[in-house]
Amino acid sequence: MNAPKRLEWIERRTPEVRAFPWGSTETKPTSEAIAPPAAAALEIPEPAAEDPCETRDEKAEAIDALDAELSGLRAELAAAQTDLAAAHAAIDTLKADVERARREGETKRGALYVEAERELVRMSFAIARKIIGRELATSPELLVDWVRNTIEEADLQEDLNIALSPDLATSMARDVWGDLASLVVSDSTLPPATTELRDGTRAIRVGADERLALVADELGMSLAETDTKREAA
């Protein structure tokens, strides 16, 4: 009989004997490699071919979806920019309102200060009128000093007449005027406590109101502005 034919793809190896330092031996079988069946015997299914039309449609749908999402984002961005511009405009308007209110406040505050100062001046002049009126009632000679100062400041002519209001004409002696005037007369057209200096070319009144008018002029006001009764009228 013929010996059985040995399969070529089966490889058998004899055990390997290895020596160890302590003198013992160990038999370690070697692995027997068994060759796999021939590749031709294995059947691997091939992947199905993709439909190019279906792939193209899916890509188109994906691109359309991205375009729609991008359009939505652009619309949201435009709306946000519009809202931001409106917010900036509102802030600018608010700043303008605040600045206008500040200027109006400063203007009103300045006007209040000016009016307060004028009111203080009016009160001061009202007190001065009462004091001067009382002084003239008790000592009308006070007018003599005013007349003398006016003559020196106005440089009046030597031929000077002094006209007195009726109340002064009856309350003041003629000799108190001394050599200030060549003639002293009474004039019913003059207001109370008033004198008028006349040299033929000019007529200058001297009295409480005239003295107060000089003070008011120094303050940049008219005499009428210092009198609450006259201003109200």
Q: Is residue 157 part of a domain?
A: yes
Residue 91, pLDDT score: 93
First to last CA, the chain: 161
Phi, psi dihedral angles at 75 (to 5 degrees): -65, -40
What's the CATH number where 201 sits? 3.30.2320
**Does 93 reside within a domain?**
no
Sheet bearing 194-198, strands edge to edge: 183-186, 161-164, 194-198, 203-207
Any domain includes 223: yes
Helix, strand, coil abundance in the chain, percent, nearest 5: 55, 10, 30
The answer to the question of residue 209 being in a domain is: yes
> For residue 224, is it within any domain?
yes
The total number of structural domains in the chain stands at 1
User: What is the pairing mode between strands 194-198 and 203-207?
Assistant: antiparallel
In a domain, 35, yes or no: no
Q: Is residue 6 part of a domain?
A: no
C-alpha pair distances (Å), 132 with each of 125, 128, 135, 143, 160: 10, 6, 5, 10, 26
Structural domain includes residue 56: no
Structure tokens at 118: 């004028």
Return per-residue pLDDT of the chain as tens, 233 residues.
555 555 554 555 555 555 555 555 555 555 555 555 555 555 666 665 556 666 777 888 888 888 888 888 988 998 999 999 999 999 999 999 999 998 888 888 888 888 888 888 888 888 888 888 888 878 877 888 888 888 888 777 677 888 998 888 888 887 888 788 788 889 999 888 888 988 878 888 888 888 888 888 887 777 777 776 544 44
According to DSSP, the β-strands at 25-28 and 16-19 are antiparallel
Report pLDDT for 90: 92
Domain containing 179: what range? 139-232
